[in-house]
Each structure stands twice: as C-alpha cells, then as structure tokens.
Amino acid sequence: MPATEHIRNKLSQIPHRPGVYLHKDRFGTVIYVGKARDLRKRVSQYFHPSRRMGWDLKFNALVDAIHDLDWHVVKSEAEALLLEGRLIKDFKPRFNIDFKDDKRFLLLKVNLNDPIPRFTLTRLKKDDGSIYFGPFAHSGSVRRVVTMMRRKFKLRGCRALTPAEPDYRHCLYANLKNCTAPCIGNVTREEYLSQVRAGIEFLLGQTDEICAELATEMRQAATNLDFELAAQLRDALEDLRRSTQKTEKFERIPYKLPVAINPESDLRELGRILGLASPPARIEGFDISNISGTFMVSSMVSFWQGRPDRANYRRFRMKTVTAQNDFACMAETVRRRYGRLVKEVASGRVSERDPEGGEAAVGELQRALDDVSRVARGSIPVPGTDAAAGMGELDAPWVPRPPAGPRLPDLILIDGGKGQLNAACAELERLGLGAVPVIGLAKEFEEIHRPGEPEPLRLGLDSAAVKLLQRVRDEAHRFANTYNAQLRLKKISESLLDEFPGIGDARKQALLRKFGSLRRLRLATVEEIGAVPGFGGKIAANLKAFLEARREGGEGAV
C-alpha cells in the first residue's frame, strides 16, 4: 500500500533512534506494536512498494489496515523491548503474537524484614514490603549476575525462607565458601544485613570496581592466550552492564483509550497552549447521551494527571429537561455537579465519597476555590512570562494517585461547540465559578472553543494536547452511552413479561437475545419460542397464549 500524504509526513518526523512504534487502523485502534533499533528505517520498510511481492498474506493485511502510526523514543534496545511488551499486554493488538500471554519480565526482589533476607527472582510485583529491581529485558543475563553477586558478597542461595539449623557440613553453600551461613550462626543477623545492603547497592549500579576487575582479568587472560577464559569474562562483563543499566519504568495502562505513553508531557503541552498557570492536574469532562429525546442522561469523567480517576466518575439523569435539548441538558448537569460542591464548602460538609471526612477535605476544597480566585486576579503568573520564570511548576513531580476529598477541577472540558460551552459557562458564572478554566471540543475538526474567543483553536490531530482532550471526551462519551444502555436494559426488564408467572431474569434475557422486542416475540411461533434455552413446549405454548390474550396492551419493548 503506498503511503498516504499523512503517513509520509509522519515518516519524515521519525528520528533515527531506538524506540517503539504503534500502527493504528482508521478507528484509532492499535493493531500492531513493534520495536526497532532505528525507528525511521524500520517503520519506512512497511511502505516500500518494491518489497510488497515478498510479503506474506498476514503482513499484507497489516499494511493495508494501517491508517495512522505513533512512536515513542527510548534510550536503548532493552528499554524498547520492555515498553513493547507492556504495550502489547495493554492494547492486545490483533496482528501481534508474542507477549500476549500473561508472562511478564523478570524482577529481582529482597525483603529486609525476613529473618534471613535472600534475593529471589519473580515475575509479579506485590505490595509485600520487598525491594524490587527490574524488570529485566535479558533473563539469562540477570540470572548470571545474581549468581555472581551471591558469590561476591557471600549471600545465601538456598530456597527455604527460614532454613533449619543443620550441621555445618550439610550446608553446601557454606562448604563452598559462597555464603557466610547466618542460618547456623556463623555471622549475626546485623552482619549479614550489611552484606545484603552491599548487594542492593551493587544492583543499584555501584559496579565500577567490579567492572574494572573483570576488564583487567579479561585483558590479562587474553595476554596469556587463554581466550576461553577471556570470552567468559567478556560475557560476564556484558551481563553485568545489561543488568545494572538504568531503564525507564513504564506503568501499566489500565484503560482502553487512544495511546498515551507519556500523559505528563501531554498535560504540559495543553497547559502551555491554554495559558494555564500549570498543567491541569484535574480535568473533568462532560457529555450528553439520549436517543430521540428518551433516556436523557449525561456523564462526568475525571482525569487526574492525564489518567482516568474512575472513583470520581459521575452520571446524571435529567430531572428538569423534558424534550431533546442538548444545551439545557448540559446546563442542568453543570449546575448540579458544581452547585453541590459550592454548597458543601458553604455548609462545612464533605461529599460522601470522601472516606476521611473532617476539616482537611473542606480545607483542600477551600484552597482550590482560593486558587481559582488568584488566577482570575492574576496573582498566579502564566508560563512564559517573566513572573513565572524560575517557579518550576512544569517540572514539579507528578503524583498519579488522586488526593482524597472533593476538589475543583483545573480544567473543564465540554463535548460540543459554542452552544454547549456557553450553556456551561452561564451556569458556572451563576455559581461564582467563572474563573475556572473551561473549553469545548467540537468533533468535526477537533476544534477547541474558548469562552470569549471568536475563533476556535485548530491544533491538528497530531497534537499531544488534542489527543489528551480526545481521551477525556471519548471516555465521557463511552460512560454516558453505557448509562443510557443500562437504563434501556432496565426498561426492558420492567416489561409485560413480568406479569407472566414462572419467568425470571435469565429467561427474559434469553428471549431478548433471541427476538429483541416484544413485537417480534409476538410474531414468533410456539416452536421458535420453545427453542430458546430455558423454554420447553409447554411453557412456550403458555407464553404464546399469554401474549395473544394481552395484544391490546401495546407493543412495547421486551
């Protein structure tokens, strides 16, 4: 498939660096994840027409499905392998085979609270108080390095958590002088802990001395023409460098949204573009869902540091809007959401979702209100100005865990154009929250509408800020549609069939899957009803007679 103009423009931007690339189809779904030592060279190979004759059917199907691509640069091939495995497990691309199982990269752990601490290999990180190292891209290397470390620092290698107290002659590691044998009292626990801490420093990268020793021994062996020993020392030196090399840790992405490898970078760009005092830590997005004016609902999703904060999702069923009117639905949603927060601050209460309660949560919300006022007065400088120089907000550490208690958002995102945005802004002004930053995102061209600005921002679909806003908007859309579907399903369960004796939820669901509506069920024959799981000939005949007798009751949904 010849590369489109959009893909050709992207290929020219890909650097000659190691990293991971992601191919996506026209729906934005990740269909393949790969790694490369040279990203531009590897990704360009997919779009060389001269190579097409040598491709198999699967590869041709992959290339034909590519509509867009993303990439992420890393520092080394090992880091690329770790990120590739993580992304494949998260997105499960249909064209990938490797890394789709539940197997994970090796970790090395030690728990200093154990009676006799030991270094062990594991593939699952738990909250058990242990110190973890890794993950490691090269399992063979780390296993050999662990063996080297145990011999260097005389650490135990037996599997028992708390060894028994055998005679000294029965401890193989002690006989080989590879362990100081604290289990039989050769050293005290404090002395052994100092050996373990030396091993921890070794794994943290304090290896210069050992690397120098190995390099010296390797050169000496080569000088003595002992090339086999020199090769073994060379391999040991490479294993040591691989295993103690610093690599970035890539967190698991627990949600199926468009690709967000570095949410913090996206937040920084969004903050700069909108002229915010700092990257918006808390973003709340709103969307409306209804079908021809029925089951009118709305949703609010909350993102903390660029990641979904599902504990603070909210959904609303319209109370005052009776006809289809998206502007009125948006106004009611914003009024109910933020009217409640204002009342909680005024009354000194906290919302029920704050398990701690007390004055701390109220104080946090009050500080947020004060910060909004300070932004409005200009007390908080905007990035890029002299007043903001040296403040370092953009370089502050990022804490993914959201704070406890209610908190005003740093940015409100409305799904829609100027109409929905104006409806939301009017409600915020009435509540005294007019200084809270709020924007609208229109779907057609992904335009960013801002209050008081006649022209929208068009940043392009490749902008990291736009992709972040798309994630928030799409998640709000999904959450609203899910609630709408739940209400429709509930309506289905409250149907005429409830009057039929002996039918439960399982049988009603079976009828729904088979026929879809009460009208189609009424048209079905006794034989067709009897073929539904849970129904026999007798109950099918009774149900048919029941429906015929109540035909005058209308043709609502099952």
Q: How confident is the model at residue 15 (pLDDT cuts 50, 70, 90)?
A: confident
Output the average pLDDT for the chain.
Answer: 75
Question: Mean pLDDT over residues 482-511, rounded?
Answer: 71
Residue 252 has pLDDT above 70, yes or no: no
pLDDT at 382: 35
* C-alpha dihedral, 335 to 337 to 342 to 348, nearest 10°: 150
**Which of 15-24, 384-393, 442-451, 541-550 comes out lowest in average pLDDT?**
384-393
Of the candidate ranges 14-23, 202-211, 547-556, the one whose mean pLDDT is the lowest: 547-556
Q: Alpha-carbon distance 426 to 408, whole Å?
A: 17
Q: Average the pLDDT over each of 145-159, 239-253, 323-337, 455-469 and give the range with the smallest value.
A: 239-253
Average pLDDT rounded to a whole number, residues 525-539: 85
- Two tokens at 507? 């049988």
Band of residue 258 on the pLDDT scale cut at 50, 70, 90? very low
On the question of pLDDT at 233 being above 90, the answer is no
- Calculate mean pLDDT across residues 100-108: 69
Question: What DSSP character marks residue 49?
Answer: G
Q: Which two tokens stand for residue 217?
A: 């021994």
Q: Which amino acid is at 422?
A: N
How far apart CA 91 and CA 95 sit, in angstroms, is: 11
Beta strands 447-449; 30-36: pairing state: unpaired
Q: 486 — phi, psi (to 5°)?
A: -65, -40
pTM listed for this prediction: 0.48
Pairwise CA distance, residues 365 & 403, whole Å: 11
For residues 464, 465, 467, 472, the Cα torsion angle rounded to the nearest 10 degrees is: 150
Residue 320: predicted pLDDT: 87
11-25, 133-147, 233-247 — which one is most confidently predicted on average?
Answer: 11-25
Which range among 99-103, 167-171, 374-378 has the greatest average pLDDT? 99-103
pLDDT for residue 296 is more than 80: yes
Looking at the predicted structure, is the pLDDT value of residue 195 above 60?
yes
Give the closest residue to 260 by CA, choosing from 469, 99, 78, 67: 469
> Which one of 17-21, 89-93, 103-107, 214-218 scores highest in mean pLDDT?
17-21
Q: How many angstroms separate the CA atoms of 342 and 362, rounded?
A: 11
Question: Minimum mean pLDDT among 260-269, 361-370, 524-533: which range?
Answer: 361-370
User: Per-residue confidence at 206, pLDDT binned at 50, 70, 90?
Assistant: low
Residue 299's closest CA among 318, 282, 280?
Answer: 318
Answer whether 423's CB lies under 8 Å from 448's CB.
Answer: no
The whole-number pLDDT of residue 492 equals 54
Question: Could you give the CA distance from residue 18 to residue 40 in angstroms, rounded to a whole number?
Answer: 9
Q: What is residue 366's predicted lDDT score, i.e. its pLDDT?
A: 43
Return phi, psi of residue 34, to 5°. -140, 165
> What's the pLDDT at 231?
82
The per-residue b/e assignment along 444-483, b for 16 or more CB within 10 angstroms, e otherwise, is eebbbbbbeeeebbebeeebbbbbbbbbbbbbbbbbbeeb
Residue 396: pLDDT over 50: no
Average pLDDT score over residue span 485-509: 69
What pLDDT is attached to residue 137? 67
Please indicate whether residue 282 or residue 181 has the higher confidence score (pLDDT): 282
Q: What is the CATH number of domain 263-488?
A: 3.30.420.340
Run of H or E residues at 263: helix 263-274
What region does 99 belong to: left with phi over 0, alpha with psi -120 to 50, or beta? left
Tens digit of pLDDT for each residue in 322-372? 788 889 999 999 999 999 877 776 665 544 333 333 333 334 444 444 444
Unique residue bearing structure tokens 């949410």 = 263
CATH domain 494-553 topology: DNA polymerase; domain 1 (1.10.150)
Confidence class for position 311, pLDDT limits 50, 70, 90: confident
Three-state secondary structure call for residue 116 = coil
pLDDT digits (tens, 9 = 90+) for 66-82: 888 888 888 778 778 87
Confidence of residue 261 (pLDDT cuts 50, 70, 90): low
Taking the CB of residue 294, how many other CB atoms lie within 10 A of it? 11
Contact 347, 414 (CB under 8 A): no
* Domain residue limits, the chain: 5-91, 106-244, 263-488, 494-553
What is each CA distance from 91 to 18, 85, 324, 390, in whole angstroms? 21, 10, 37, 39
pLDDT band at 193 (very low <50, low <70, confident <90, very high): confident
Q: Mean pLDDT check: name the lowest of 219-223, 334-338, 374-378.
A: 374-378
pLDDT (0 to 100) of residue 270? 93
pLDDT of residue 114: 78
What's the CA gap between 203 and 206, in Å, rounded?
A: 7
Is residue 88 within 8 Å of residue 40, measured between CB atoms?
no
Amino acid of residue 286: F
Which superfamily, per CATH, for 5-91? GIY-YIG endonuclease (3.40.1440.10)
* Confidence band, pLDDT 50/70/90 cuts, at residue 235: confident
What average pLDDT does the segment 30-36 reach?
A: 89
148 or 15, which is more confident: 15
User: Under DSSP, is residue 71 helix (H, G, I), strand (E, B) or coil?
Assistant: strand
Instruction: Give per-residue burial for 349-358: e unless 16+ CB within 10 Å, then b.
Output: ebeeebeeee
Percent of the chain with pLDDT over 90: 13
545 alpha-carbon distance from chain centroid: 53
Q: CA-to-CA distance for 453 and 432, rounded, in angstroms?
A: 21
